[in-house]
Structure 1
C-alpha cells in the first residue's frame, strides 16, 4: 500500500497547475537592467538605491523559474539582498565587505539550488548553505528545523533518530563543530536531542562543511555547522509567532533607527501544560527502557506511583545590530537554552522512593566588529563566551533502611577571540589570514553516597584547562568559469598536551566541460575536547556522555585525515553529484565509544572510513524529486578488542537511501520522503556463563551482528494565506506525519543480567530501543 501511495502522489503532482514562471538568459548584464526585466515579467516592483547597487554585472541562465528562485540566484552572485515587503513589492539592500571566509561566488552560475529551494551549493568552497527563510517544504517537517534539515543531505545520518545526533561521514556528533553566531555549542538539542535547540525563525544561514573546511575553523575533526542569525536592519517592526504540538515560539525584530536594530526570540515546550499525541510519542521513544519508563521497578508486577512528573525546555536569544556607516558593522548576540527534568516514583509495597533530577543549560554571548577599509580590504574582530552546565541527581531510599544518592556534574567554560583580515590581491586572487585564542575549562564531578555500605562511597572530580592558540591563512585563486583553488594552513597549539599541530587544507575545482565539474579536497584536522561514556549513571538511561579534555594518554588528541574527489553534472534540470572519500581517524578510545564485551576497560583505537555519496535531482516546474544515496565502510581497530582485528564501527551504516518529492501549487506545498538504510552493528549475546560469583554474559564477536534494516515514510503539507488584503499579516497551517505506515524499527540492542521472577536465579534480558512510531504534528504560524 505504501508504494501505491508514493506512485499516486508522483502522478498527481505532474498534473497540477504551476505558479508564474519565466525563462531568462543574461550574459554580463547590469543588475539594474535585470531588475527592470523582472518587473515586467512578474508584475512586481523593486525599491533600491541605484548608486549603491552600482554597475554590477551578472550572468544567469534559468528555464521556467519562479521569481523567488531567480532572486535567490542573484543573491548568490552579487552582494545584494532582497526583502519581500508584500506580494508585489521588494526592497533591495547592498551588502558590504564580504570576506574570503564568507559566501562568495563566481560570476557564472554552476549550481545554485542543491536539492530544493533554500539549499544551495556554495561555489566559493565545498560547503552547502541552508537558508530557513527560503527553505522549501521537506518530508516530515512543517517547520525548518535547523539540524533536521541537514539530514536530507548525502553523507549525513542520524542512527539515533534525533536532530542533534548527526553522524557525518563516519564521525560522531561530538566531532562536529557547531557554531551559533560564533558561539561554540556543547548541547544543541532539546528533549534529549529530538528537537533542535536553535530557533529557525531567526536563522539567516546554515553553512555545512563535510570536507574542504576553511582554515579559520579548528578543534573538530568531522564537520562544521556554522549558523548565523539575522543581521539585517528592518525598515519596520517585524516578527512571527506560532505553535506546534511540542512547543510555542515568538520573535520580534525592532528597528531602533535606520542604523540599529534589536532582535529577540523565545521558545518553550508545552508538555507540562497540554498533553499532545506528538509529545506522548516522542516521550515513549526517548524514555523507553529507562528508569522513567520502568518506574524503577525491581519485579515486573511491582505497582509504581508517580510522585513527580515535570519536563520542559526553553530557549531565548537577544541580538543587537548596529551599522553606523557602510564600512562598519557591530553585532552582539546572546543565547540561552535549558532542559529540565524532575521525575519521582514510589513503590508502596516496599515504601521505596526514587527521584531523578536533571538540568542542562547552554548559554553564550558573542560580539563581532567588521570594518571595511575599501572594497578590497577589511578586518573582523570577534569574541565569544560559551558555558555548558550539566547537573544530574538521582536518589533511591526506603524509610529507616537506606538512602542512596548519586550526583553527576559536567561543566564547560569556553571563551575566546579572533582577528581576521581579508585582502583582494587582484581580480583572481584573495588572501585571508588571522589569529584565534580560546581557553577551554572542563570540569567533571561524580559523587555517590551509599548509606548501607559507606566503604562503597566515592567522590571523583577533575578540572582541566586547555589554552588553544591558532594561526591560519587562506588563499583563493580562480579563473572565471574554469578553475577554483583554495589553499589553507592552520597551526594549533594545545596547552593541555603542550604540542603544536599543523593542519593543511586544500581544495580544487575545475570545469571539464560546459556541464561537468571535477572537485577534490584534502585536509588534516585535530581535536582536543570530546565526549566519553560515563558508565556509573547508566541505570538512569539518559545523557551518559560527558565532555572531557585530552590528556595525551587515556584521552589522546583526535586526528583526522580526509581525502575527497568527485564530479558534478548539471543539464536540462538534471543534477548529479558524486563524491567519494577516505577518512582516517586516530586517537579513539573505549571511553569515547563504549563497548559491551571488553575485558580491558580502556583501549586505544582508530577507524578507517571509505564512502561514496550520490545525489540525483530533477526539477520540472514546481515539482522536485531527489535521490540521496550513501555507501560506507567504517571499520574500527583497537589493540585489545576483537584480538586486534578490524570490526564494523558502532555507527557503520553500509547503505543509506533517501527518496524525496516536493510539489508547490499556489499556496499549497506538499512533500513526501522515504528512507531506507542498513541496520547498525551490535554485539550479540549467546547467554549467561555461570561463575563462582554472579554470572557474566557470553558475547559473540564485537559488532558481529546487525540490527534489521530501517525504513519509514514521512509526509508533510502546508498552506500559506493572508489575513488581509494589505498582506501585512500572513499565516501558515501545516501538518506532518512521521513513519506513516508505523514501521517498528530497532535503533539499538543491548543485554543485561536481570533477576528471575520464578526463582532466585538470573536471566539474560534483551533490551531493544525502537524508533518513533506513527506520529502526527500540527503547526500554525502568524508572520507580520
Structure 2
C-alpha cells in the first residue's frame, strides 16, 4: 500500500478550518490514496481459513503441511453452504478437496489448471495498454485493446512476468490475484526524456504541440478539418500556421517559405522522394496505416539529416494487436482495404492497399483532378487522344516482439502512378497513332531493431533502401520523334541510435548515420540520335550527440545537440548545432526558443519546357560542388503561447537563411528561366494563432506574415521577392462535434504570388519578351471555402461504419495559381494561366470489422 503525504494549511483561531483539517487527516489515514492499484482486502493464509471453517461447520481437514504451505486466499463469503465453501476453495487454490466420509475432507495437490485475469493500464493515465505480454511458467498471453487478459496457470506459487515495450517489467505471484476479481494492474513507463505535450487539441482534437516545438498528430484521436474527410497527413499539416502549398498540391508543400524538395519526409524512418498520387493532388501515404505524424519547423533533433525547411515524420502502429481487424473503404477517387493480422502471440502484420477507381467509374471528383493536372501539358493541348490513368499503393508493416528486451519492425511500401495516352493524327493522308506514357514509382523497405538493455540504456538500429523512378516516353507524331526521359534516385541508409538516461531528468542521445545516395538523369532522342545519362553518387557519414533535460515539475525543458557530417565525394566537413528550449511560467504561459543549422545534398530542378510531358516538371539532382552546391540553411525562432479556459493564443517569430539554391530549382518562367545561377533566400516572418475551444466546438483564426526575398548576384535584380513569397495568409475555421457527427468549415485566403509581366507598350523585341523587373507584380489574391462532415455508426457490435462528405472550393472561385508568357503567331506575348481546382465534391464510406 502506497501512502501519500498531503500538506494542509489551517488559519489560526478558525474552528471550521481545524475541523476541516481533522476531517482531511482522518480521511487520509483511513482511506489512503493508492495511485497504482484498486484497494482489495489482504489475502489470508489458507491454514487460518481452514480453522475458521472447521469452527463454523462440523468438518475436519486432513492434509500434508507442504500442501497448503504459503497459500493465501481471500475471505470466505458469508451465508453460503459448505459445498459452496469447497467450490470457493477449489477455485482459489487449485487444490483437490475430497470428502472422505461425513466429517473429514482430504486436501491434495491438484493437477488441474485455473485462470487469472486483469486489466493492464498505464500509471497515472488510466489508459488501457494492448499488446502487453503476460508470461507464466508454462503459458503466456497478451492483453487486448481494452488491456484485458486471461492466463491459465497451475500453481499458486508461480510467478507471472508482465512486460511491455517502453514500460518497466513487473513480477507478481499467482496468489496475489484474488479469486475471480479482475483488478487493474498498472505499468510504469521507463524513464526516458521524450517530448512532453504542452498544448493539446491544437485547432482540432488529435493535434498537439510538444515542448521541443514540434506538432504531433494522433490519428486515433483525430477530429475533423475543413475540406478533409480522411486523415491525409500532407493535407492535414497545411492547416498549421506557416505551412502552405502554393499550387494546392501535396508535392509542393512550402514550410516557412521553402520549396518542397527542402522538406525531409520520413515514413517509419525511411526517406521518401515521392509524396503524391495523381501527380501531387493526393498523398501517397495511406491514411489507414498511418497512425501518428510529427511536423517540425525548427529545432530538429540531431538524429535527423536533410530537410532544411521542415521535417515530416510519419509512423505506423507500434502495437502488437491480438485481434484481427479489417477496414474496407471507397471514395470518389479510390478504393482501399486494410487488415491488421495477429501472427502468434508476439507479432502482428498490417497490410493496406489502395487503387484508383476511374477504370470503373469516372466521378466528378476525378474529372476535376484530371483537368487540374493536365493544364499546360501535352495532354491538355492535344484533343485527339485516348487517355488511361491509374495509381495504386501497397503498405506492409510487421511488428515482432522477439523477447522482453528485443523488438523488430519490418516495413515495405510500393507506389505507382501511370498515365498512358495514344495520340492519333493524319500525316500525308495516312492515319498514324503512337503512344506516350508517364510513370512515377517508388519502392521502399526497411528493418528497425530496438534493444532495451536495461531501464536506462536503449539502442536502435535501422537499415533501409528507397528507390524512386520517374520515366516518360513522349511520341511526337509530326516530327516522327521519340523522346525518353528518366530520373532515378536510389538511397541506402543505416542509422544507429543509443539513448542513455543519466538521471531521471537527463537523457543522452548519441548515434551514427550512413547515407549513400545515387541519382541518374537520362535524356534519349531517336531522331536525331542523342543520348545523355548523368549518374552521381554521394556517400555521407554523420555522428551526432544531444543532451536533453526536463525540469522536475515539467516546467522547463532543454535539448542541446550537435551533428557532424563528412562527405566522401567532396571531402568536406560540416558541423551543425541544434537547440530547443521551453519554459512554462505563470501556469498558463509557455515561452520557447528554437534554432538549427542543416544541410542537404539533394534538390530538384524544374524545366517547364519538356520535362515529363509537362505534368511532372521536377527531377531530382545531386550536389556536384560546382553549379549545384550543397544547400545550407540556418534558422532561429522565438514563440509565446497562452492556454487557459479554452483559449489558446500562440505567436512565433522566425528568421531563416538558405544558401546554395540554384535558379533552375526555383521554377522561374520569366527572363531567368534558362539562366544558371546560384543564390540564396531569406525569410523573416511571424506565425500567429487564436483558438477558442468549447465543449463540442473549436474555432480558430490563423495568420502568417512572411517577407521572403531572393538574392542572386548574377541577376540584374540582386534582391527581389521569392517565387513563393506569400506575404499574408489567413486561415479561419470551425469544427463541431456532437456524439458521432463531426462538421467543419473553413476559409483560406492569402495574398497573390509574385509574377513578372512584360513591359507596357514594349512587350517584344528581337523575338524575345521584354520583361519588367523580376517578380515586380502580383497575381490576384487567393481565396477558398471548404466544408466537410463525417458520421460514425454501428450496424452491429462488430461492424462499424464511417461516412463522410466534403466540398473543396465550395464557392467555385477561380483562383490563379501561376502564369507565364509566350510569343504567339502575331509576335505578341500570350499569357498562359493555370487555375486551382474548381468546386470539387468528395464522399467516402468505410466499414470496419
Q: CA deviation at 1:29?
A: 7.8
Show the counterpart of 1:414.
491
- With over 3 angstroms needed to count, the CA separation of the structure-2 counterparts of 1:691 and 1:670, relative to structure 1, is closer
Aligned pairs for 1:448-527 (under 5 A) are 448-450=525-527, 454=528, 457-479=529-551, 480-527=553-600
Q: Across the two proteins, how many residue pairs are aligned to each other?
A: 695
Is residue 249 of structure 1 aligned with residue 327 of structure 2?
no
CA offsets per residue over residues 629-680 of structure 1, 9 Å max, x none?
A: 1110000010122332x10001000011111111111221101111110111
| 8 Å Cα contact 1:140-1:672 kept in structure 2 | yes
Partner Cα separation in structure 2 for residue 84 and residue 599 of structure 1: 57
Show the counterpart of 1:601.
675
Q: CA deviation at 1:172?
A: 0.7
Partner Cα separation in structure 1 for residue 300 and residue 597 of structure 2: 10
| 8 Å Cα contact 1:688-1:696 kept in structure 2 | no
Partner Cα separation in structure 2 for residue 326 and residue 636 of structure 1: 54
Show the counterpart of 1:722.
794
| 8 Å Cα contact 2:763-2:829 kept in structure 1 | no
Is residue 291 of structure 1 aligned with residue 378 of structure 2?
yes
Q: CA deviation at 1:691?
A: 5.3
Aligned pairs for 1:4-23 (under 5 A) are none
Is residue 361 of structure 1 aligned with residue 441 of structure 2?
yes
- With over 3 angstroms needed to count, the CA separation of the structure-2 counterparts of 1:244 and 1:93, relative to structure 1, is farther
Show the counterpart of 1:382.
462
- With over 3 angstroms needed to count, the CA separation of the structure-2 counterparts of 1:83 and 1:505, relative to structure 1, is farther
Partner Cα separation in structure 2 for residue 648 and residue 626 of structure 1: 29
Aligned pairs for 1:209-248 (under 5 A) are 209-248=296-335
- With over 3 angstroms needed to count, the CA separation of the structure-2 counterparts of 1:514 and 1:83, relative to structure 1, is farther
| 8 Å Cα contact 2:191-2:456 kept in structure 1 | no
Q: TM-score, normalised by structure 1?
A: 0.84
Other structure's SS at 2:303 match:
coil
Is residue 191 of structure 1 aligned with residue 191 of structure 2?
no
- With over 3 angstroms needed to count, the CA separation of the structure-2 counterparts of 1:670 and 1:311, relative to structure 1, is same
Show the counterpart of 1:317.
395
CA offsets per residue over residues 474-514 of structure 1, 9 Å max, x none?
A: 11012123321100110111223221111100111112321
Show the counterpart of 1:618.
692
Partner Cα separation in structure 2 for residue 734 and residue 660 of structure 1: 18
- Structure 1 unpaired stretches of 5+: 1-27, 35-47, 59-69, 76-80, 296-303, 756-760
Show the counterpart of 2:523.
446
CA offsets per residue over residues 37-90 of structure 1, 9 Å max, x none?
A: xxxxxxxxxxx9879657x446xxxxxxxxxxx969x99xxxxx998669x99x
- With over 3 angstroms needed to count, the CA separation of the structure-2 counterparts of 1:137 and 1:93, relative to structure 1, is farther
Q: CA deviation at 1:376?
A: 1.3
Q: CA deviation at 1:707?
A: 0.6
Q: CA deviation at 1:325?
A: 2.5
CA offsets per residue over residues 676-727 of structure 1, 9 Å max, x none?
A: 10111011123776656xx111111101111111011100011111011xx2
| 8 Å Cα contact 1:754-1:764 kept in structure 2 | yes
Is residue 769 of structure 1 aligned with residue 822 of structure 2?
no
Other structure's SS at 1:627 match:
strand
Show the counterpart of 2:243.
156
Is residue 557 of structure 1 aligned with residue 636 of structure 2?
no
CA offsets per residue over residues 150-202 of structure 1, 9 Å max, x none?
A: 10001110011012321000111101010111211100100011000001111
CA offsets per residue over residues 529-560 of structure 1, 9 Å max, x none?
A: 11112355158321121111101110011010
Partner Cα separation in structure 2 for residue 607 and residue 517 of structure 1: 30
Partner Cα separation in structure 2 for residue 236 and residue 117 of structure 1: 26
Q: CA deviation at 1:276?
A: 0.2
Is residue 173 of structure 1 aligned with residue 260 of structure 2?
yes
- With over 3 angstroms needed to count, the CA separation of the structure-2 counterparts of 1:179 and 1:97, relative to structure 1, is farther
Partner Cα separation in structure 1 for residue 236 and residue 768 of structure 2: 43
Q: CA deviation at 1:291?
A: 1.3
- With over 3 angstroms needed to count, the CA separation of the structure-2 counterparts of 1:276 and 1:523, relative to structure 1, is same
For residue 112 of structure 1, the aligned residue among 200, 206, 210 is: 200
Is residue 30 of structure 1 aligned with residue 35 of structure 2?
yes
Partner Cα separation in structure 2 for residue 282 and residue 603 of structure 1: 35
Question: Which stretch shows the higher mean deviation, 591-600 or 415-424?
Answer: 591-600
Show the counterpart of 1:637.
711
Partner Cα separation in structure 2 for residue 101 and residue 435 of structure 1: 23
Show the counterpart of 1:736.
806
Q: TM-score, normalised by structure 2?
A: 0.78
For residue 348 of structure 2, the aligned residue among 239, 250, 261 is: 261
Show the counterpart of 1:17.
none
Partner Cα separation in structure 2 for residue 111 and residue 155 of structure 1: 17
Partner Cα separation in structure 2 for residue 518 and residue 531 of structure 1: 36
- Runs of at least 4 residues off by over 6 Å: 48-52, 97-103
CA offsets per residue over residues 743-783 of structure 1, 9 Å max, x none?
A: 1100001111222xxxxx43321111111111111100001
Partner Cα separation in structure 2 for residue 527 and residue 161 of structure 1: 25
Partner Cα separation in structure 1 for residue 637 and residue 262 of structure 2: 18
| 8 Å Cα contact 1:636-1:647 kept in structure 2 | yes
Partner Cα separation in structure 1 for residue 299 and residue 38 of structure 2: 36
| 8 Å Cα contact 2:756-2:775 kept in structure 1 | yes
- With over 3 angstroms needed to count, the CA separation of the structure-2 counterparts of 1:103 and 1:717, relative to structure 1, is farther
Aligned pairs for 1:685-696 (under 5 A) are 685-686=758-759, 695-696=767-768
| 8 Å Cα contact 1:133-1:201 kept in structure 2 | no
Other structure's SS at 1:280 match:
helix
- With over 3 angstroms needed to count, the CA separation of the structure-2 counterparts of 1:636 and 1:29, relative to structure 1, is farther
Aligned pairs for 1:562-577 (under 5 A) are 562-577=635-650
- With over 3 angstroms needed to count, the CA separation of the structure-2 counterparts of 1:577 and 1:33, relative to structure 1, is farther
| 8 Å Cα contact 1:352-1:396 kept in structure 2 | no
Show the counterpart of 1:202.
289
| 8 Å Cα contact 2:817-2:836 kept in structure 1 | yes
- With over 3 angstroms needed to count, the CA separation of the structure-2 counterparts of 1:468 and 1:93, relative to structure 1, is same
Partner Cα separation in structure 2 for residue 775 and residue 355 of structure 1: 30
Other structure's SS at 1:702 match:
coil
| 8 Å Cα contact 1:316-1:336 kept in structure 2 | yes
Partner Cα separation in structure 1 for residue 677 and residue 240 of structure 2: 33
| 8 Å Cα contact 1:132-1:146 kept in structure 2 | no
For residue 699 of structure 1, the aligned residue among 764, 768, 771 is: 771
Q: CA deviation at 1:32?
A: 5.3
| 8 Å Cα contact 1:688-1:764 kept in structure 2 | no
